[in-house]
Structure 1
Amino acid sequence: MKPRVSLSLSGQQHATLKAHLFPGDGKEAAVILLCARICGDRLKLLVRDFVLVPHDACERWPDFLSWPGDSIEHALDLSEQDDLSIVLAHSHPGGLFEFSKADRESDSQVIPAIFAGRAARHLDQTWHGSAIMLEDGSMRANLYDKHHQCEPVDMIGVYGDDIVFFWNPDSFPGSAPTRPMAFTESMREELSRLSVCVVGVSGTGSIVAEQVARLGFGDVILVDHDRMAMKNLNRILNSTLSDAQAERLKVDVMCESIQAYREDVRIEAVPSKIDCVDAILKVAMADVVFCCVDSHIGRQICDLMASAFMQPLFDVGVTIPVRQCGPDQFAILDVCGRIDYVWPGGTTLADRGVFTPESVAAECLAEVDAAAHAERVKEGYMPGSHEEAPSVIALNMRAASACVMELVARAFPFRHDPNAQRARASFSLAACEEEFFSEAHWDKAKNALLARGTKWPLLGLPVFDK
């Protein structure tokens, strides 16, 4: 069973909320979450902003809280322009991980008032709700529709250096109060509730798709517009001669392969480039995204989606730079791989220089010029060599495995060192070296897209307007 309703917030947001809700005096405290909504085959709420209700403005006790109405009025004002959902959150210092009778009575009075305060010009369906947090940071929440009917938030995802999921025990009875241990059946069971998207299912992407499917993700979304060719057979997993001869879509080949060993998986093939509205809206439903493309445009779109949809993003790239040392003779300079982990609100791929406005513009220009674009594609894995079918599956395996292990290490921690030290991992097989970089290595630009959701134009790009 996958979550019908989820709430996403960044690790940074969660830490700020926790510090305010538990100031150290053992008394309840309050915050108000302002959330964008994504509606599709499930409902996702994304925390865009919040109001920290001043402690001295409340009547606070270890098991009771009364807060001023002007804080809610302020939240209504902030939410009005983009019709954000309001979630009233408070702490339970005593450790009760459920809504008390007083909580439910408070909701029955306040939630209808919040709906009544919504501007008449907003016609879309909306939800408001309430949430609680315990001192260890665990959270659960309820939502109410316009008829004030209550529905539990099944999963709350916190995405930072570590990835944490809080499961509603009413929706998932028997959920362990602690995080599952890596590489266990408990890990697989949790992954079965989650949705993963792999953008690009060629060299590294087919290997990533194979791994996430066998790890046990319940929903797998594959995005790629390209078709099989003979030159792909030496590096795309599960591809066959007949696939190449029939020029089958790569996503169809991978879907068929996964379904041959996973009867419990829900898999969706999206035969499209990622810079397409329909593809972007499909990816918006995923809990986790892997970017396995070899284009700057594709990486830019994935980077923007990670911010707008509050998704943890894992980006992988490999290259084998060469130099010409004589007529038709080349020498390898290095054999390189790079894995970047991006969490919403942290440094982006753009901040890290993985792509630049200039590189995206140049790529767009190359696609307009068919000859130039063909030349760029021909460069492929080995810039300078014009090798169309390089034997790089071993390199791809190394990089793709490191990329998927990055997810496992962050959601089910096992490393001796903090995950914060590994925002990027890069390796040189020629020099037998591996380097790691923390978030502090890059300057972080202001991120206006954070928790934008599916507001038009999508990703803030005019080209994706209605």
Structure 2
Amino acid sequence: MNSFVSLTLQERHLQELKNRLLHQDGRERAAYLLCGEAFIPSDPWSNLPRRKYLSFDVLSIPDAEIVSCSSEYITWKTDSFVQALNLAQANRMTVALVHSHPGGFATFSDQDDINEPDLVQLAQNRNGETTRLLSLVLTSEKNLIGRCWINPREYESLDFICCVGNRIQLYYPGRGKGVSFSVFHRQSLAFGKALTQDLSILRVGVVGCGGTGSAVAMLLPKLGVRQIALFDKDVVEESNLNRLHGATWVDAQEQRLKVEVVGRSLTMLGIGVEVKSYQAWIGDPVCRDVLKSCDVVFSCTDDHAGRLLLNRFAYYYLTPVFDMGLAIEVSSSEPPKIQALDGRVTTLLPGCTCLLCREVINPVIARDETLKRDQPDEYERRKAEAYVFGEGNPSPAVVLFTTDVAIMALEEMVHRFQGFRGEEGAMPQKVRKYHLQTDRQPGVRANEYCPVCSTNGSWGRGDVEPFLDQV
């Protein structure tokens, strides 16, 4: 294999395709899918090029163009295909052909092998010789397989297809056979073998390796995740030792990198974890390809600028981001009295309200953080003149609560893969008020002018210049 190719579908798109293509009359039907792309020149774990195609829109084939169809084939005129190619070229996207095999034939047929090269040739004649064409088959058993045509004579199979939404569904060869590693036997008794197998093939990013991030990172391998990327630019300090899992007194004295310390602990588990560590702020261009390689991201950073970037990333790249935070308010008395103690987990995905609309991010603070990082002298000048927010006292932090918030985020991820809470179990946002002993699910409508979550114009766009359309 010379590269790694995958497809991520929005849940609403997969449902629309099922509604259009799967009918009780048993005849094949077809549609087009317009896809954005994330290209990674070298995947950090395989060192191979990787292309992630991302569903952007479903396009229908007019009934008038259908020449004939049966339970074994479908043919149609190419007028709508040319229109789809025009749209793809204008938006720098890729077209996918999607058709059904109502008989449950979960592979490409001989007829598909005959017809599709002609369409590939048409696409490359129209949009250029580097144009690729995706092809997907949806069966009545709701299996999904795909391939990517490089030219009329050569294609690559899609290594896996991921559907993201209230549930996260994976389609890949051999799924369901499970992982025989005895470490996860007890987990399989609770959730089945498929969950551990699914998690074992994912690339998971942890942004921020402090109290919540180190807890998330330490628990991921114990769920079966084997490929983990750690992002944090800071070193271990004495004040971190009360909550940073895996850190020692010596680490603080020698000011070792947080990513180094957490990565060391993961490797020492001895259960086949591959850790990639990056001492950088998540917005640094050096992190982009790694971040794009991840299938799931945990946002454990406490800076608004980092959250602002991940907030957009989740929608542009159809990557589930589980953002978490802990807020402890205490009185000025001695001893302090807890006035509020809230843990929060917010899921960022198309269809979910974003952090801006939930007022978790303050754009002004994000601006000041960026200024401090990029122009420290100017930041200090403006702070002296009260034009930017200065640093306040350190926030209270307790390992009991940082760890519990991390577990809340992991529970949300596991539910979306396995569904243990039932059909309505997904929680776009969960707030645990420890001091009141209550859990809440605050519902917030997207601001109608929000460019991130109120419109689907950026959902699945993938690679654009500038990155994430950020100027």
Asked if TM exceeds 0.5, the reply is: yes
Letter in 2 for 1:219: Q
Report the TM-score when normalising by structure 1: 0.87
Q: Is the 8 A contact 2:105 2:139 kept in 1?
A: yes
Instruction: Map 1:256-335; keep pairs closer than 5 Å.
Output: 256-262=264-270, 264-325=272-333, 330-335=336-341
Question: Secondary structure of 1:196's partner?
Answer: strand
Partner residue of 2:395?
Answer: 381
User: Who is 1:449 aligned against?
Assistant: 458
CA–CA distance in 1 between the matches of 2:102 and 2:272?
Answer: 40
Distance, in Å, in 2 between the alignment partners of 1:380 and 1:136 is 55
Contact 2:353–2:446 (CA<8 Å) still a contact in 1?
A: no
Question: Which residue of structure 1 aligns with residue 88 of structure 2?
Answer: 79
Q: Does 1:248 align with 2:250?
A: no
Tell whether the 8 Å contact from 2:357 to 2:444 is kept in structure 1 after alignment.
Answer: no
> How far did residue 175 of structure 1 move?
7.1
In the other structure, the counterpart of 2:347 is 341
CA contact (8 A) 1:311 1:344 kept: no
- The corresponding residue for 1:410 is 416
Secondary structure of 2:264's counterpart equals: helix
C-alpha separation in 2, matches of 1:182 and 1:37: 36
Give yes or no for the alignment of 1:61 onto 2:70: yes
The CA deviation at 1:188 is 1.8
1:202 and 2:210 are equivalent in the alignment: yes
In structure 1, the partner of 2:230 is: 222
Structure 1 residues not aligned, in runs of 5+: 383-389
Q: Does 2:105 correspond to 1:91?
A: no
Helix, strand or coil at the partner of 2:201? coil
Matches of 2:123 and 2:134 in 1, distance apart? 10
Return the letter of the residue paired with 2:395: Y
Match of 1:20?
20
Match of residue 432 from structure 1: 437
Whether the aligned pair in 1 keeps the contact of 2:358 and 2:444 (CA below 8 Å) is: no
Cross-structure match for 1:232: 240
Task: Read off the aligned partner of 2:433 and give its amino acid letter.
Answer: S
Distance 1:352 1:20 in 2: 35
The AA in structure 2 aligned to 1:408 is: V
**Greater alpha carbon shift after TM alignment, 303-312 vs 348-357:** 348-357
Question: Which secondary structure state, in structure 1, belongs to the residue aligned with residue 294 of structure 2?
Answer: coil
Relative to 1, partners in 2 of residues 1:142 and 1:107: Cα closer, same or farther, differing over 3 Å?
same
Matched pairs, number: 441
Q: Is the 8 A contact 1:229 1:245 kept in 2?
A: yes
Amino acid at match of 1:47: S
Inter-partner Cα distance in structure 2 for 1:317 and 1:261: 27
Aligned to 1:385: none
| Equivalent of 2:425 in 410, 419, 423 | 419
8 Å CA contact 2:176, 2:194 repeated in 1: no
Residue 208 of structure 1 aligns to a residue in which SS? helix
1:100-179 superposed matches below 5 A: 100-119=109-128, 126-146=131-151, 148-169=153-174, 174=177
Query: One-letter code of the match for 1:10?
Result: Q
Q: Is the 8 A contact 2:246 2:265 kept in 1?
A: yes
CA shift, 1:219, in A, is: 1.3
Change (3 A) 1:291 1:448: same
SS of the counterpart of 1:81? helix
Letter in 2 for 1:81: A
Residue identity opposite 1:222 in structure 2: L
Contact 1:352–1:442 under 8 Å retained in 2: no
Contact 1:89 1:133 in 2 (8 A): yes
Question: What is the Cα deviation at residue 305 of structure 1?
Answer: 1.0
* Residue identity matched to 1:445: S
Paired position in structure 1 for 2:32: 32
Amino acid corresponding to residue 77 of structure 1 in structure 2: N
8 A contact 1:111–1:129 mirrored in 2:
no
One-letter amino acid of the counterpart of residue 303, structure 2:
S
Q: 1:279 to 1:318 in 2, by over 3 A?
A: same
The whole-number CA distance in structure 2 between the counterparts of 1:15 and 1:265 is: 35
CA drift at 1:376: 5.9
Structure 1 pair 81–329 and aligned structure 2 pair: CA distance change class (3 A) = same
CA RMSD of aligned residues (A): 2.7
Give the drift of 1:345.
4.5
CA distance in 1, matches of 2:272, 2:435: 41
CA distance in 2, matches of 1:417, 1:46: 25
Q: 1:243 Cα shift? A: 0.9
Give the counterpart letter for 2:411 in structure 1.
Answer: M
What letter matches 1:296 in structure 2? Answer: H
Corresponding residue for 1:386? none
Unpaired runs of at least 5, structure 2: 44-49, 180-187
Post-superposition Cα deviations, 1:326-359, rounded to whole Å, max 9, x if no partner, equal: xx66421021101111223433222322214344
Please report how far the alpha carbon of residue 54 of structure 1 lies from its aligned counterpart in structure 2 after TM superposition. Answer: 2.2
Distance 1:363 1:8 in 2: 33
- For residue 154 of structure 1, report the CA deviation from its aligned partner: 1.4
Contact 1:112 1:148 in 2 (8 A): no
Letter in 2 for 1:455: V
CA-to-aligned-CA distance 1:355-393 (integer Å, 9 cap, x gap): 1434433544666535689986554433xxxxxxx4x00
Deviation by residue 1:194-234 (Cα, 9 ceiling, x = unmatched):
11001111110000011112222231011111111111111
